[in-house]
């Protein structure tokens, strides 16, 4: 059920970001999922989403994927020392990730979009955390 919800959210985010909006919804969903479950499936999702977004944004294919993995490198380093299953981390990770993403790929309204994405991700994290059990207690995640 948790996997289904994640892939459903992920698919909707990828489609919305490809066609309708410039907000980094994929990055938001990936950060929320990683904060909740810390699963390696997020790496496959990042690579696949990167290719998908590059096709729809008319960019060099693979560029977004490389960005995502540079972002995950920073998150991995942070995770070694600090707790990531907190709303504060989710908000700051999404906010700064979005700022870099939007600035790197030349989008407008960088601050506003990053703020909204951070808020959206935090709300999603808090909602899903109360609905899902922690990964240590759950068998099928």
Task: Give the one residue of 21, 88, 104, 127 binding another protein; rule: CB under 8 A.
Answer: 21
Report the SS3 class of residue 109: coil
Looking at the Cβ atoms of 34 and 125, the one nearer to another protein is 34
Q: Which two tokens stand for residue 129?
A: 């955390």
Can you tell me which residue has the tokens 């070694």? 80
Q: How far is the CB of 111 from another protein (least distance, A)?
A: 11
d(CA 118, CA 81): 22
Over the window 43 to 82, marking each residue x when it contacts another protein by CB under 8 A and - when it does not, the resulting string is xx-xx--xx---xxxxxxxxx-xx-xx--xx--x------
Say which residues have a Cβ less than 8 Å from residue 15's Cβ, sequence separation at least 6.
none
Can you tell me which residue has the tokens 């066609």? 19
Where do contacts with another protein occur on this chain (CB under 8 A)?
15, 18-23, 38, 40, 43-44, 46-47, 50-51, 55-63, 65-66, 68-69, 72-73, 76, 106, 108-109, 112-113, 136
């Amino acid at each position: 059920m948790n996997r289904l919800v994640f892939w459903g959210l992920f698919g909707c985010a990828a489609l919305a970001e490809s066609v309708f909006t410039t907000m980094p919804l994929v990055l938001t969903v990936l950060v929320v999922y990683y904060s909740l479950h810390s699963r390696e499936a997020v790496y496959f999702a990042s690579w696949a989403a990167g290719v998908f977004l590059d096709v729809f944004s008319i960019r060099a294919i693979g560029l977004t994927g490389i960005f995502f993995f540079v972002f995950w490198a920073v998150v991995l380093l942070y995770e070694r020392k600090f707790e990531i299953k907190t709303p504060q981390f989710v908000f700051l990770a999404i906010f700064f990730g979005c700022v870099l993403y939007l600035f790197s790929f030349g989008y407008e309204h960088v601050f506003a979009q990053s703020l909204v994405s951070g808020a959206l991700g935090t709300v999603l994290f808090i909602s899903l955390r109360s609905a899902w059990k922690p990964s240590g207690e759950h068998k099928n995640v």
